[in-house]
Amino acid sequence: MISNRPSQTAETVCLMRATDQRRPPSERIVDDPYAKLFLGPMMRAALSSWEVAGAVGRLAERYSPGLTTFVLARHRYIDDRLWRALRGERVAQVVLLGAGYDSRAYRFASELRGRPVFEVDFPATGRRKDRITARHRKAFPAANVSRIETDFQTQTLSDQLVKGGFEPEARTFFVWEGVSMYLTRDAVKGTLTTMQELGGRGSELAMDFWYYLDQPSLLATVYRASTSFLSLLGEPITFGIHPEDAVPFLSRLGFRTLDVADASALEERYVTDRRRVAPGMYLVHAVAR
């Protein structure tokens, strides 16, 4: 990933969240009124085009491979688990790894009740987010947010977090969304190990994994080819793990898996119309042993 410019992938994901706001509240998978504020001119134009498309846009979503719906369902899955942890007083602090334009610190402000949220990301993305939140200060509720600049490939996460005020061994809810697939296997293992050691027993983790579809279908072929497109954006896919291997993988790193949700599970839980969730990606919720 290129660290001297804001992440294009993070802004694209933000655009996907913003599209759900055009739906009636009862039909939304994710309710994120802040997403549109983080869009640059090109993405705002794309959102306007999406909104103008109306029925045509909905038809395209319904019969598309379902990446947008996956992004929405992924965000909702993590939202639900974070909400339960905060309401149950199970955690003292929240860490968003690769935070991008995540707005949970503001959307969950009442549930957080002042508990700190540490947003970890590359400097360029975090600084752009700072500028936008400052510009729209009146739109955002008060939140205890600390931006932590780091490069997962080259810097020590624990050092950066502690410098930023993170309390080691305090129960933590870690969110790692849309990041692991862009790292090396060693970097993924190292980051998970750091989370397990930093948060201590009882800390929770919600994250997604990517894997190659191995069935002989057109969708699988298109899905595999999409990695080449991401490489052109400077954000190549470098790590994947099959759902069958996720539980033992996390267990070896000190986590007990509570839930694994693939595309079909996400559709069943969160999709109320005929939108489809793209296969090849899934969510896990785990707790540190």
∠ CA 49-54-57 to the nearest 5 degrees?
70
Domain boundaries, the chain: 8-288
- Rounded to 10 degrees, the C-alpha dihedral 20/46/105/94 comes to 90
> What string of pLDDT tens digits covers the 289 residues of the chain?
445 788 888 999 999 999 999 889 989 999 999 999 999 999 999 888 866 665 545 554 554 568 899 999 999 999 999 999 999 999 999 999 999 999 999 999 999 999 999 999 989 999 999 999 999 999 999 999 999 998 766 678 899 999 999 999 999 999 999 999 989 999 999 999 999 999 989 999 999 999 988 766 665 555 555 555 554 455 688 899 999 999 999 999 999 999 999 999 999 999 998 899 988 899 999 999 9
- d(CA 120, CA 159) in angstroms, rounded, equals 12
DSSP conformation class of 277 = -
pTM assigned to the model? 0.89
- d(CA 25, CA 273) in angstroms, rounded, equals 13
CATH of domain 8-288: 3.40.50.150
| Whether 118 contacts 166, CB under 8 Å | yes
- d(CA 156, CA 168) in angstroms, rounded, equals 14
DSSP conformation class of 117 = E
Q: What is the CA radius of gyration of the chain?
A: 18
| Whether 2 contacts 234, CB under 8 Å | yes
